[in-house]
């Protein structure tokens, strides 16, 4: 295996619960009363799909304009709720380890550039790190486009890539990209939920992944 | 089976994600940087145990005074984050159905009275409903005291009681009380996590429990 592609929110940065509550509140404002645990299971999809899924959940139609407004509002409410972002334990060290041992890696997020930037800022990424966000592709997760875009930039084959993510959407997109998924519990899904979505391995957080890195058979570039 | 004892937050009222974020922020303020998903798995314990667990998580000691201050602060932050509480789908209807069919029920919450009241207020409870909170017992969940206090007031035997809860702490306390646990996914745990903690049945939310109520073999008083 020659490369590791990371999801961002919930995988490297501890932001999932802020996103859940922000969406919960924004959907409620918009008249979409979706239960918290169902909102949680939608996090990690593109914002457009998430709003459609929420509307479907309560049996309502959603216009493109309404979906766009909800996404914008989510960005604002998230910032109010969680002004500070924290890297997950081991995240900075894991990326540094891959960099130092010359294992290729990149980051692929369903978030838009302006929303992803504050999360990327806490990771102390090396110059030139490969990052692909919502603005770079036509369709976000669970479509495989984000992961395939990173893989192309890393100049490796899909089957040489691991995808590390906290949501079933990462694992679904990984399978569609012919990559091997690794689940992290740090997004709040249960172990079994990630197993069933096809995770090859499940670790608690980036720190546990780093301490188990030799289980992954990674090769330097 | 002659009685149903309900947990409150996450089981009848959609408050878990607000509690997670409130604790996340309050613990961070206090210098306890605990990951969101780990905070989530502590919800439903008494506030005292939760603060101790959080301190243990990052290898720190916690004084009684500090624990008390964190709990008070949590109540304040929660109210700021989620000023409005929502009953979970089917919660009001389920309690009404039990009342109308004369099946005994009660509510047992690890929350303190002043924190539980706004959640109870949205449930449209019949007059005289049995409610036991943190202030009524010496030790909250995962100790069985709360459930045993409800059972005594309902004048049934423990083995005639179901406990309905969303957290593994409810299921652990139920087993210790010799009652049968029923898990709800509405607190955000995975199905398997509730199964493994000993749930006899798992439903999505109160609405699904109500639509499946004849699976439970309940008897009128």
Q: How far apart are CA A165 and CA A160, in angstroms?
A: 17
Residue A89 has pLDDT above 90, yes or no: yes
* CB-CB under 8 Å, B33 with A205: no
pTM confidence score: 0.95
B50 φ, ψ to 5°?
Answer: -60, -45
**Looking at residue B115, what is its pLDDT?**
87
Average pLDDT in the A145-161 region?
A: 98
Tens-digit pLDDT profile for residues A51-84: 999 999 888 888 999 999 999 999 999 999 998 9
* CB-CB under 8 Å, B188 with A191: no
User: Out of B36, B82, B186, whose CB is closest to A14?
Assistant: B36
Longest pairwise C-alpha distance within chain B:
51
Residue A83 in contact with partner chain B when CB distance is under 8 A: no
Residue B61 has pLDDT above 90, yes or no: no
Candidates B11, B14, B77, B195: best to mutate against A (most CBs of A within 10 A) is B14
Residue A37 in contact with partner chain B when CB distance is under 8 A: yes
Q: What is the dihedral of CA B149, B150, B156, B158, to 10 degrees?
A: -70
Residue A171 in contact with partner chain B when CB distance is under 8 A: no
Q: Model confidence at A24, in pLDDT bands (50, 70, 90)? A: very high
* CB-CB under 8 Å, B35 with A186: yes
**Looking at residue B112, what is its pLDDT?**
87
Residues of B in contact with A190 (CB under 8 A): 189-193
* Helices B16-29/B64-81 angle, 10° precision: 130
Q: Model confidence at A114, in pLDDT bands (50, 70, 90)? A: confident
Residue B28 has pLDDT above 90, yes or no: yes
Q: In angstroms, how far is CA B166 from the centroid of its own chain?
A: 7
Tens-digit pLDDT profile for residues A194-209: 999 999 999 999 999 9
Confidence check on the interface: ipTM exceeds 0.90, yes or no: yes
**Looking at residue A16, what is its pLDDT?**
97
User: Out of A28, A88, A189, whose CB is closest to B190?
Assistant: A189
Residue A115 has pLDDT above 90, yes or no: no
Q: Cα B18–A111–A60 angle (5° rounding)?
A: 65
- Which range, of A105-109, A112-116, B39-43, averages the lowest pLDDT? A112-116
Q: How far apart are CA B41 and CA B23, in angstroms?
A: 12
B25 φ, ψ to 5°?
Answer: -70, -40
Nearest to B82 by CA among A96, A25, A36, A116: A25
**Looking at residue B107, what is its pLDDT?**
98
Tens-digit pLDDT profile for residues B140-161: 999 999 999 999 999 999 999 9
**Looking at residue A37, what is its pLDDT?**
98
Tens-digit pLDDT profile for residues A131-141: 999 999 999 99
**Looking at residue A172, what is its pLDDT?**
97
Q: How far apart are CA B129 and CA A130, in angstroms?
A: 59
**Looking at residue B148, what is its pLDDT?**
98
Average pLDDT in the B100-126 region?
A: 94
Average pLDDT in the B94-102 region?
A: 98
Q: How far apart are CA B5 and CA B162, in angstroms?
A: 6
Residue A27 has pLDDT above 90, yes or no: yes
Give chain A's mean pLDDT. Answer: 96
Q: Where are the beta strands (DSSP E) in A29-128?
A: 104-108
- Which range, of B39-53, B176-190, B200-214, averages the lowest pLDDT? B39-53
User: Out of B14, B17, B190, whose CB is closest to A17?
Assistant: B17
Three-class secondary structure of residue B96 per DSSP: helix
Residues of B in contact with A12 (CB under 8 A): none
**Looking at residue A201, what is its pLDDT?**
98
Three-class secondary structure of residue B121 per DSSP: helix
Residue B221 has pLDDT above 90, yes or no: no
Residue B33: closest CA among chain A residues belongs to which residue? A86
Q: Model confidence at B114, in pLDDT bands (50, 70, 90)? A: confident
* CB-CB under 8 Å, B37 with A187: yes
């Amino acid at each position: 295996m020659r490369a590791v592609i990371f999801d961002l929110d919930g995988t490297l940065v501890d932001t999932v619960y802020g996103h859940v509550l922000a969406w919960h509140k924004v959907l409620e404002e918009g008249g979409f009363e979706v239960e918290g645990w169902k909102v949680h299971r939608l996090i990690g999809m593109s914002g457009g799909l998430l709003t459609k899924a929420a509307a479907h959940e309560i049996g309502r139609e959603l216009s493109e304009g309404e979906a766009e407004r909800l996404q914008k509002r989510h960005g604002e409410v998230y910032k109010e709720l969680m002004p500070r972002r924290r890297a997950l334990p081991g995240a900075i060290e894991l990326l540094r380890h891959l960099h130092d041992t010359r294992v290729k890696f990149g980051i692929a997020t369903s978030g838009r550039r302006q929303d992803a930037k504050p999360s990327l800022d806490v990771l102390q990424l090396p110059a030139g790190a490969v990052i692909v966000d919502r603005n770079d592709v036509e369709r976000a997760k669970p479509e495989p486009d984000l992961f395939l875009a990173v893989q192309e930039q890393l100049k490796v084959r899909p089957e040489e890539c691991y995808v590390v993510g906290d949501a079933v959407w990462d694992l679904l997109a990984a399978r569609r990209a012919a990559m091997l998924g690794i689940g992290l519990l740090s997004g709040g899904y249960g172990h079994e939920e990630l197993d069933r979505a096809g995770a090859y391995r499940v670790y608690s957080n980036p720190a546990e992944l780093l301490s188990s890195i030799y289980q992954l058979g990674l090769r330097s570039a």
